[in-house]
Structure 1
Amino acid sequence: MEDSEHLEHTADGQTQEGFSDRVYLLASVIFQNNYLEKPAAQTLVNYGKKRTLSLPEVTDGEMQRAAYELAFNSLKYQELLESIILDSTFYLSQPLPDDQMSLAVVMLFDFQDRKFIPRKCENTDEDVKEVREVELHLLRFTAKFAASLARWRIKHELLSIECMLPESVRIKQERASSLMLYAWVNSLKSSLDEVQRVLNGAGFYRVRSVGQLQGKTFCQDPHCEDLLVFPAPLRLHLEPTSLLSNHKLIVQDKACCLGPNAVRPLLQEAENGDVLMAGCFSGLTVAHTESLIAMKQKSMGNDKSTVFVCVGDRTEAQREKLQRAVNAMGCKNVKLIPKSFQSLDRSDKQFQKVQVILLAPRSSLSSISNPVEFILQEDGDTELLQDLARGSIAKSKLESLVVQQKKDIDHAMQFPKILSVIYTTYSSYPEENEEVVRGVFEQAPACGGNGQSQTSLSSFSFPLDSKDLLFKMEPTEHNNGCFMAIFTRKDPQHVKDPVTEDSVEAAETMEKPQRKRSQAQLKRRETKSNTGSGTSLKKSSVPSPKVNESGEAQLARINSRDSKKNPKLEPLQKPYSWSNTIRLNHFPQQTVPKLKESTPIVLPKINSSGFKRSPKLEPYGKSNRWNKVVHPYPTTQEVLKPTVISLPQEDFPALFPPHVRPKYRASFNNHM
């Protein structure tokens, strides 16, 4: 019991008795690589010239998390800690080299957080001499540190040091302590019914919604049918059930689960389509994607779909970690591609069956309330710690992220046989979300005259008349936020790569019946003119330039003449295009009771779960360039008089409608 209390961390990642020497050492290296470097005239404390140091090897996940949390908190309060070090004369009076000041700063933060109480530790084989020496220097200045901190708070009129943080950082810090625990059922090793029985046997009982979670309870997520929600403290109570250790229940943030849940319905049921994944994600996301695909194909009696994962931009250690996670989850149809996404050849034969591309490029993580835990679990970018600690990202770094995001979408859309592209970010900035999507389609008119293939941006269209173009989940006290856009290709039966022989043969095969129809129309017109009144056989035998025309010229002339007579008549060969929308039939439908005509209704802008529609994008270019798409969402019909509608609070908008409970979930009702 004492060991569990010693390892129990608060929201800031520290223990009441302090950390081990290795945690302090690892935290100092993380701080050294990410601290805010100021101009020479404004530099208060010199940390040496060494940057991008290699991290000490730490195999304990809890120890690694504690070190990153300690370094992240030290980055938040870097200005305060430097002021204390200077005001107390510690920096000038203690003979510490500049390279050890990072260690002194992270230990000072933990020291003041424990009210300057010395940590309780014993001499062990893992003691680090450097850490013990710095600790002795800090203990000599305990009284001076406390006085300096008190003077600083009085000077700035602050009740606590948390008040000095930017508002966005304070809000995230508060939300991080109340986030729910999300876990998805691994269909490769278990089922929802089996997990339900194990939880019931362990004393858990199911409730209807997240708002009712209290004690040993859980509920089913209203948007992802394989996702269960628990109160955060119940992580320790799930350990004895062996669901986590046997990889039957996988703990992962909900923001990471929406992308895989969007993949499954986009795959064609009649074909064994493959999936290509690229970006920043962990092996848990890869395994979740295959788990959902396997669940869908289990009823069809096949499991031939392959999940390709681009790992060319990852380190060898990250590749091994991803492979171990995939193997532990029971995945059999995952193939790692040792290339970056931008270097993939779209005409490669192994990608010819890929129907869906799931993109999760690097983003600012500005909608994540617990960034350290999220980065460690999802193999995220640790270079963002400095920006996240300040509550804003540098403009140059944001522009760099946006450029790469647009390149990834553009490259994904150039795959000739792709039916859908899913673009996800964990950002709250419009520059990475709505404006990236808008920027992609802004390039469409400019690409039209560059001679690009039909798979380029020049053939894309954007349904500006749609009301639910994009999906955005706002961060709340229960969940982190995310953004998702799904691009679907229209007329996929016409999708062929024009540079391959197969596409040429397919185009010729498609053109033959069209030629036959146009030639038959030409013969009927000639026969009618020859048999008409006032027409002689001798006149019909005179050579005519129209008779000597080639088949292609005749086809063009007929199409041109018919289009003049009937402007709505479409050409014989209809080009395909792209659209950006969330299709409602990708997710289970929501049953809404019919309301009386006299019932007043008011639509809330943001519901209780934090979901809202993104603003409608402004049109670009001429209106006739965009093909109108009939949006599959249920929309409100036009009426002569405005109608006000009031929906129950538990209803969600049509972006991610709640799923319909299948029959095998009937066992839940016995415990409600």
Structure 2
Amino acid sequence: MALYTAAASVLAGLERREGALKTLVYKSRFQNIKQLYALVSETLRYSPVLDSIMAGACLLKAEKKLSPHLAKVLVYDLLFGKGLKCGGRWKVLVQKHRARLQAELARLKVRKKVSCNEDLLAPTESGNKASQVPRYVRVNTLKTCMDDVVDYFKRQGYSYLGRASRMEELSSLSGKQFFLDPHLPELLVFPSQTDFHENRLYITGHIILQDKASCLPAFLLSPPLGSQVIDACAAPGNKTSHLAAILKNKGQIFAFDLDPKRLATMSTMLVRAGVTCCELASEDFLAVDPTDPKFSNVSYILLDPSCSGSGMVNRQAGESTPSMERLRALAAFQRKALGHALRFPALRRLVYSTCSVEKEENEAVVWDVLQEHGPVFRLVNVLPSWPHRGLATFPGAECCLRACPTATLTNGFFVAVLERQLEHNGQGSCSAPPIKAEVDGGEGRGPCATRKKRRKKGPCVQ
């Protein structure tokens, strides 16, 4: 029974965006990692097929004690796997419905005009996309430094190729080669299949396994030392630990998440990463009062709200495109969260990001909120050399960043940076100090190294 409950827990973690598949499998502490990984991977691969079969057999209506994730794992092993060799009382529950489940599988094959199980799987590019994305390793500067990590990997037999001069070089990596990323100064890049989950540096928190696109929000927020920062939807915590590293633990991060289980996992990760400047709260960010004196000095906010996750190349293989109904519901929440964040009186800079590729959750949300807050906040044109920009759905949308496997060799992602205009501080005067616009990040410097002129008109600071 432990195998199936562990697999169901990993599936639930993926749905809650608590981490990548391998990360969650290793965190499960299940004894046979390979067995668990194989079961979850194959269940994900057959996920749309299993949904159809379970719906047709009315399994969840008949067995209300079964969670959807546990049911999916059990039905996979019954119909496509090893035939429920374990499972205890859950096995007994599902076995009662074997005939109906098998009949639904047979009917599905007839409808699809196929004869074997593999032919039920819809063609997908997710596997190809995942293979295009390298393994990114963020050096955790709270516990170590870049030179020491590079030397460590050299001693492990890896060949260090220096800083990549262009993004295309990253796709040529093979074997035990690695680059320093061309954009982010603390990010190393390895071939896509490189696995560090059992590496000593990962276990001790000296390195963080984090996709490059996911590193962009904290990098572009770039709060100065001593800043007070809000991470509005913080779990599972990789971005929070990145913010702490940028602050060098000299400042304060208020991290909010409504799910106490996600926060508990996050707390463990932050301790391992050496984060000491973070205050966790199991609280809905929308319920936080921007006028609370506790947050009167919060000047930087990172908002990475719940989204469809449509940009994650290795998330729930075969998952269908989110419905328009779901996108509208998510976008309504995202607009509300972004508008709420912009009401903090001392706010000077905010990063809004999603791991979605849907314009309804990205450009449309930013544009709608700018209509209300545009006189006070404007977009910043970040990383001008970044090849993939926001969709041209409104004037200045090119200031935003997009990411995808083909253009940037990352997961699908969206980032927008908003800054308070100089003439608007919390009291409507112009006493706020100048804010620097983003330029390309070079080695040994942050992303706010050079001051640029601002256009007087339009939503975008050039």
Q: TM-score range by the shorter chain?
A: 0.7 to 0.9
Query: Which amino acid is 1:370 matched to?
Result: N
Partner of 1:495: 425
- Deviations, residues 260-286 of structure 1 (Å, cap 9, x unaligned): 11122xx357xx322211115322221
Partner of 1:401: 330
Query: Which amino acid is 2:158 matched to?
Result: F
Partner of 1:350: 294
Distance in 1, matches of 2:67 and 2:278, equals 45
Q: Would the aligned equivalents of 2:43 and 2:76 in 1 still touch at CA under 8 Å?
A: no
Higher strand proportion (structure 1 or 2): 2
Q: Would the aligned equivalents of 1:166 and 1:391 in 2 still touch at CA under 8 Å?
A: no
Q: Would the aligned equivalents of 2:378 and 2:421 in 1 still touch at CA under 8 Å?
A: no
Distance in 2, matches of 1:410 and 1:148, equals 47
Give the secondary structure class of the aligned counterpart of 2:417. strand
Tell me, yes or no, if structure 1 residue 211 matches structure 2 residue 171: yes
Distance in 2, matches of 1:283 and 1:184, equals 14
Identify which of 270, 292, 307 aligns with 2:246. Answer: 292
Shift in Å, 1:337: 3.7
- Percent identity between the two aligned chains: 22
Partner of 1:77: 49
Give the secondary structure class of the aligned counterpart of 1:468. helix
Distance in 2, matches of 1:293 and 1:339, equals 23
Shift in Å, 1:329: 0.8
Query: Which amino acid is 1:332 matched to?
Result: T
Q: 1:213 to 1:113 in 2, by over 3 A?
A: farther
Partner of 2:439: 585
Tell me, yes or no, if structure 1 residue 314 matches structure 2 residue 256: no
Query: Which amino acid is 1:485 matched to?
Result: A
Give the secondary structure class of the aligned counterpart of 1:371. coil
Shift in Å, 1:353: 3.0
Partner of 1:248: 206
Tell me, yes or no, if structure 1 residue 110 matches structure 2 residue 77: yes
Query: Which amino acid is 1:628 matched to?
Result: K
Q: Would the aligned equivalents of 1:355 and 1:418 in 2 still touch at CA under 8 Å?
A: yes
Query: Which amino acid is 2:210 matched to?
Result: Q
Tell me, yes or no, if structure 1 residue 473 matches structure 2 residue 403: yes
Distance in 1, matches of 2:459 and 2:333, equals 31
Identify which of 343, 348, 373 aligns with 1:419. Answer: 348
Shift in Å, 1:414: 1.5
Q: 1:160 to 1:181 in 2, by over 3 A?
A: farther
Give the secondary structure class of the aligned counterpart of 1:324. helix
Q: 1:583 to 1:460 in 2, by over 3 A?
A: closer
Distance in 2, matches of 1:155 and 1:404, equals 38
Query: Which amino acid is 2:342 matched to?
Result: M
Distance in 2, matches of 1:588 and 1:292, equals 15
Distance in 2, matches of 1:343 and 1:429, equals 27
Paired residues, what number?
A: 412
Partner of 2:251: 305
Q: 1:413 to 1:203 in 2, by over 3 A?
A: same
Distance in 2, matches of 1:343 and 1:131, equals 39
Shift in Å, 1:407: 1.3
What are the residue-to-residue correspondences of 1:560-571 with 2, within 5 Å? Answer: none
Q: 1:390 to 1:287 in 2, by over 3 A?
A: closer
When the two chains are superposed, the root-mean-square deviation of aligned CA atoms in Å is 4.3
- Deviations, residues 563-584 of structure 1 (Å, cap 9, x unaligned): xxxxxxxxxxx799xx9xx944
Distance in 1, matches of 2:153 and 2:220, equals 27
Partner of 1:361: 305
Q: 1:347 to 1:203 in 2, by over 3 A?
A: same
Shift in Å, 1:134: 6.6
What are the residue-to-residue correspondences of 1:48-447 with 2, within 5 Å? Answer: 60=30, 62=33, 69=41, 72-78=44-50, 81=53, 106-114=73-81, 128-131=87-90, 133=92, 153=109, 156-158=112-114, 161=117, 164-165=120-121, 170-176=124-130, 179-207=133-161, 208=164, 209-235=169-195, 239-240=198-199, 242-264=200-222, 267-268=223-224, 272-294=226-248, 304-311=250-257, 313-315=258-260, 317-372=261-316, 390-442=319-371, 444=372
Q: 1:64 to 1:334 in 2, by over 3 A?
A: farther
Q: 1:409 to 1:31 in 2, by over 3 A?
A: closer
- Deviations, residues 343-381 of structure 1 (Å, cap 9, x unaligned): 223233332332211000111101111225xxxxxxxxx
- Deviations, residues 412-457 of structure 1 (Å, cap 9, x unaligned): 2122221111000111111111111111123x3xxxxxxxxxxx66
TM-score normalised by length of structure 2: 0.74
What are the residue-to-residue correspondences of 1:612-623 with 2, within 5 Å? Answer: none
Q: Would the aligned equivalents of 1:58 and 1:64 in 2 still touch at CA under 8 Å?
A: no
Shift in Å, 1:310: 1.7
Q: 1:177 to 1:145 in 2, by over 3 A?
A: farther
Query: Which amino acid is 2:178 matched to?
Result: F
Give the secondary structure class of the aligned counterpart of 2:76. helix
Query: Which amino acid is 2:208 matched to?
Result: I
TM-score normalised by length of structure 1: 0.52
Q: 1:30 to 1:309 in 2, by over 3 A?
A: closer
- Deviations, residues 448-475 of structure 1 (Å, cap 9, x unaligned): xxxxxxxx66545679765732111123
Q: 1:152 to 1:488 in 2, by over 3 A?
A: closer
Distance in 1, matches of 2:76 and 2:298, equals 50
Q: Kindly name which structure, 1 or 2, has the bigger radius of gyration based on alpha carbons.
A: 1
Q: 1:496 to 1:155 in 2, by over 3 A?
A: closer
Q: 1:327 to 1:104 in 2, by over 3 A?
A: closer
Q: 1:157 to 1:472 in 2, by over 3 A?
A: same
Distance in 2, matches of 1:31 and 1:201, equals 36
Q: Would the aligned equivalents of 2:158 and 2:178 in 1 still touch at CA under 8 Å?
A: yes
Shift in Å, 1:25: 4.3
Distance in 1, matches of 2:57 and 2:255, equals 48
Shift in Å, 1:288: 1.4
Distance in 2, matches of 1:584 and 1:234, equals 32
Shift in Å, 1:64: 7.3
Q: Would the aligned equivalents of 2:379 and 2:418 in 1 still touch at CA under 8 Å?
A: no
Shift in Å, 1:72: 3.8
Distance in 2, matches of 1:101 and 1:247, equals 33
Q: 1:173 to 1:306 in 2, by over 3 A?
A: same
Give the secondary structure class of the aligned counterpart of 2:405. coil
In the alignment, structure 1 segments of 5+ residues that lack a partner are 1-20, 36-56, 122-126, 295-302, 373-387, 445-455, 499-506, 508-573, 590-625, 634-672
Distance in 2, matches of 1:484 and 1:425, equals 7
- Deviations, residues 212-263 of structure 1 (Å, cap 9, x unaligned): 2111122222222211122243215x735x2112211111222321111112
Q: Would the aligned equivalents of 2:122 and 2:318 in 1 still touch at CA under 8 Å?
A: no
- Deviations, residues 284-305 of structure 1 (Å, cap 9, x unaligned): 22111111232xxxxxxxx532
